[in-house]
Structure formats: C-alpha cells, structure tokens
Amino acid sequence: MDLSFIAVFVLATLAVGGVIYALFYPMLSGEARAEKRRKEFAAPAAARTFDREAQARAKRGQVAQSLKDIENRENARNKLTLEQRIQQAGLSWNRKKYYIVSAIMAAVTGLLLFLLSANPIIGLVGLFIGAFGMPHWYLQRCRTARLKKFGNEFPNAIDVITRGIKAGLPLNDCLRIVATEAVEPVKTEFRLIIESQALGLTLTDAAAKLYERMPCPESNFFGIVLAIQQKTGGNLSETLGNLSRVIRDRRKMRDKINAVSMEAKASAGIIACLPPTVALMVYLTSPRYIELLWITQSGKFALVGCAVWMLIGVLIMRKMINFNI
C-alpha cells in the first residue's frame, strides 16, 4: 500500500475525529447544561432590571405630568387683572383713573403725531400707542422698579427678623418692627401682612399673599420657609439666616453677570443706534440725497423694510444679552 495514501487516510481520520470531538464535547462534558443553567439564573435578574427600568420611566412620566400641571396652574395664576397690575406697580389708581390716564395719553400722542406729520393715519397710530402701549409700558416700568427696590431691601428685613428671634422676640413683633422701620416698599408689604393677620388670616396665608403683590422669588421663598417651619418646626432664625444669605448670593451673581455682559450690551446699543445716527447725519449734510426714501414709493418700501429688519435685529440682540437669575 502506498505510504502517501496511508498518510492522507490518517490525517483525514484525525480531522474528522477532531470535528466530532469539538461538536459533541460540550454535550458530553456538561458545559451546555451549565450554560443553560446560568442563563436560567440570569433571566429573572434581567427581567427584574427591565421591570425596574419600566417603573422608573413610569415614575418619571408621572413627575413630568405633575410638573406640567403645576406649570399650567402657575400660568393661570399669572394672568393678572388690571387691579393686580396696578397694585404690583405700587400706584394708588383705580380702573377709572387708569382709563382716564389712557385716554389723555392717547389724545396727546395722536394729536402730536398728527401735527408733526399732517397724516391722519399716523395720528390714528398715535392714538393706538397712547391708549394701549404707553399706559402698559408705564405700569411695567413702575412694577420692575418696585420689584428691584424690594429685592434690594428684603434681605435686610430678614436679617432684622433673624436678630429679633435670636434675641427672644416673638415673630409677630419682629414683623411689626420691619413694618414700621424698613424702607419702602418692604415697609408697606409687611404692614399689609400685619393687617391681614389682624383680619383673621394665619401668618402663612398672609405671607403667601405677599407673593401675589410682589411676584419675585424672594417673597416666594419667604412664604415657603414660614409654611414649612409652621408645619414641621425647627430653628426659624437659622432658616431665615440661610434664606438671607441665599438672596444676597443671588443678587451678587446677578450683578456679576450684568457687569460681565455690559460690554455686549454696549456693543448692541452702538449697533442699534448706528443706522439712525448715520441717516440723521446724511440728512443734515445732504438732504436731497436721502429724501428719496420718503418721497418716492420705492424709497418708502425700502424704509419700512429696513425698519422691520432693524427691529428684528434689536429684539434678537436684546434676547441674547438679557439674563434671568
């Protein structure tokens, strides 16, 4: 017999034996059963992990829905009436006086624009601005200034209350001290809290109404602190001291951001004032060159388009440089 044939036969036999050994060895040695048992033990853990993840997702969905409901209630509460807006602005007006002032502003603005332009349409625009724009702007400006004064003085009032409590005075006596010696508008707001208590409201309810008159985070924090302390107890002086420190840190952060962003605000102001300034200089030097913008029809369209694009740019820059803390 040929030796090469024998060698090929032996090698083929060894190869077939190796393949059979590789295929059937796990079954004979028990590794397949061990792997199956490991999978059986691991399967419930994976199922439990999946259940926990499903529960976590459901819980997150419930929390998100609760937050959405709270946000909807806050938005509904933020729809202020005219009387509430006047009260937040710190004005002693009523609805009748507001309408009288709006009518006077509308008449003055409309008449002034009509006399300057001799155009009745511009006069009507002035009437609309004076009746609806200027009174709303004035109330918003007074409200913003009053909230700023309240935020600057409120930490000092909390410090007075904290020192009084540490000295052994009751909380109501500390509130009366603030209501008589603090600076406006904190003085008036704490006086209203004292008067609300005299009418039968609890301290927490009276403090909660402070946020309705002063819609700022500081007054909301104060009402929450008093409500939690009344329900759970604790060291009120320490809690109010921490609140005062947090409010001061927020103000420091706000002032720091305003200082850092002042360069961007100055650049935005320069960019916004540059086109009107250049147009005025061109009109003073070469009036016939620029008067085509309001004499010809195409110039009027170009002027309106430039004004619209300029307004869009100013609003975008204002949005970019304003930060809420």
* Cα distance between residue 173 and residue 181, in whole Å: 12
| Radius of gyration, alpha carbons of the chain | 37
**Residue 192 pLDDT > 80:** yes
Structure tokens belonging to residue 260? 């850092």
The pLDDT of residue 37: 64
What pLDDT does residue 225 have?
A: 83
Mean pLDDT, the chain, integer: 79
pLDDT tens digits along 256-291: 888 887 887 888 888 888 888 888 888 888 888 888
pLDDT band of 317, cuts 50, 70, 90:
confident
Give tens-digit pLDDT for 211-262.
Answer: 888 888 888 888 888 888 877 777 888 888 888 888 888 888 888 888 887 8
CA 197 to chain centre: 32
pLDDT of 291-302, one tens digit each?
888 888 888 888
Q: How confident is the model at residue 152 (pLDDT cuts 50, 70, 90)?
A: confident
Of 263, 264, 282, 275, residue with least CA distance to 311: 275
What integer pLDDT is reported at residue 10 of this predicted model?
Answer: 61
pLDDT (tens digit per residue) in 44-84:
544 455 566 777 777 677 666 756 665 665 665 567 788 88
User: Above 70 in pLDDT, residue 6?
Assistant: no
Cβ neighbours, 10 Å, residue 268 = 18
Domain boundaries, the chain: 3-75, 148-259, 261-325
Q: What is the CATH number of domain 148-259?
A: 1.20.81.30
pLDDT at 13: 72
Q: Work out the average pLDDT over 144-148.
A: 88
pLDDT exceeds cutoff 80 at 5: no
> Which string of b and e fits 102-129 if b means at least 16 CB within 10 Å?
beebbeebbeebbeeeeeeeebebbbeb
In this prediction, residue 46 carries a pLDDT of 47
Bond into 215 cis (ω within 30): no
Region at 76 (left for phi over 0; alpha for psi -120 to 50; beta for the rest): alpha
DSSP-assigned states of every residue in 82-109: HHHHHHHTT----HHHHHHHHHHHHHHH
pLDDT band at 131 (very low <50, low <70, confident <90, very high): confident
